[in-house]
Chain A
Amino acid sequence: MARQHRTGASRGRTARIGAVSAVIGLVLAAATATAAAAGADLLPPLESAARATDPGFAGFSAARGQSFFDATHGGKWSCSSCHTRNPLQAGRHAATGRPIKPLAPAANPQRLSDPAKVDKWFRRNCRDVLERECSPAEKGDVITYLLSLQ
């Protein structure tokens, strides 16, 4: 991409930049579509569950998901201890040093695409970070946050 751009600058610059942005646009659109199709499916059941426990439930929030993700909740780890404060980037297991691929679907389309895997890791990681399972509202906020990252 970088090289294309440079050649473009020496010849018909505007046309080249136009074409390049069109391609970038298409790639982004495709990435967004896959991510949305994957993770967004997880939200409706979590929403019903959240509403069942809290009749005042007013929808998930990416901002709440982000603060939840970056907080330590009284223990030694936060979600970001292993997944970093920028889940578009690769992380590292806080105890073993093992590299972990990015958690945001925009950076790693396989994320949030397998509901059983998502369930398993919420169960384990929430126990490690909060010493309890996460509530449906907390899971929905985190997923909304991860889906919002581009």
Chain B
Amino acid sequence: MNRSKILLVGATLAAGITTPAALADQERFAMTHPTWNEECGSCHVAYPPQLLPAASWEALLGDLGNHFGSDASLDPATAAELLAYARMHASARTAAGEPTLRITRTRWFLHEHDEIGPATWQRPAIGSPANCAACHRGADSGDYSERRIKIPR
């Protein structure tokens, strides 16, 4: 995958076109909403809204009192503000059926991480695939580029 990506970037540059936004967007996300970063970044890294479709964010932000076994409840005004932001940047990829609540269960995620074995996910320093920042050292600023990946032992 890495090599094909380099080839693709190379080909694009050679053709004199700038890197397509879609490609760049896969690894670097602008985390520009202070309320999102603060409210959704205290228990885990604030996830980029680009990684789930709008229906998923609606389901998640509509039930923060029962959030993966934790109470993440917010006042209604803040929840509405965050939902508007998430909808604006949500992924256009949609799947049929119930909306996925986990980024880590999306086909996209499983594909990007297919080289990581079950034992790695369970290392104490990682604990959960949702702990993006354990490996992506730039996750707090939305930087998931390869350069900033370091898998803890």
| Chain B positions within 8 Å of A125 at CB level | 71
- A128-B126 contact given A93-B44, A97-B134, A98-B131, CB 8 Å threshold: no
* B37 vs chain A, min Cβ distance (A): 13
DSSP majority for the A interface?
Answer: helix
A98 contact from B43, B74, B125, Cβ within 8 A: B43
* CB atoms of A93 and B73 under 8 A apart: no
B128 contact from A97, A120, A127, Cβ within 8 A: A97
* B66 vs chain A, min Cβ distance (A): 10
* CB atoms of B73 and A96 under 8 A apart: no
* CB atoms of B44 and A98 under 8 A apart: yes
Number of interface residues of A (CB under 8 A): 11
DSSP majority for the B interface?
Answer: loop
* CB atoms of B43 and A123 under 8 A apart: no
Tell me the complex Cα distance, A95–B69, Å. Answer: 9
> 0/1 per residue, B42-84, Cβ < 8 Å to A?
1111000000000000000000000011111110000000000
* CB atoms of A96 and B131 under 8 A apart: yes
* CB atoms of B71 and A96 under 8 A apart: no
Answer yes or no: B90 CB below 8 A from chain A CBs: no
A128 contact from B70, B125, B127, B131, Cβ within 8 A: B70
* CB atoms of A93 and B71 under 8 A apart: no
Answer yes or no: B130 CB below 8 A from chain A CBs: yes
Tell me the complex Cα distance, A141–B44, Å. Answer: 28
* CB atoms of A96 and B126 under 8 A apart: no
Tell me the complex Cα distance, A96–B102, Å. Answer: 13
Tell me the complex Cα distance, A125–B42, Å. Answer: 13
| Chain A positions within 8 Å of B130 at CB level | 96
* CB atoms of B133 and A98 under 8 A apart: yes
Chain B residues close to A by CB (< 8 Å)? 42-45, 68-74, 125-128, 130-131, 133-134
A-B contact pairs, 14 of them (CB 8 A): A95-B70, A95-B128, A96-B43, A97-B126, A97-B131, A98-B42, A98-B44, A98-B45, A98-B133, A123-B73, A124-B71, A124-B73, A127-B71, A128-B71
Chain A residues close to B by CB (< 8 Å)? 93, 95-98, 120, 123-125, 127-128
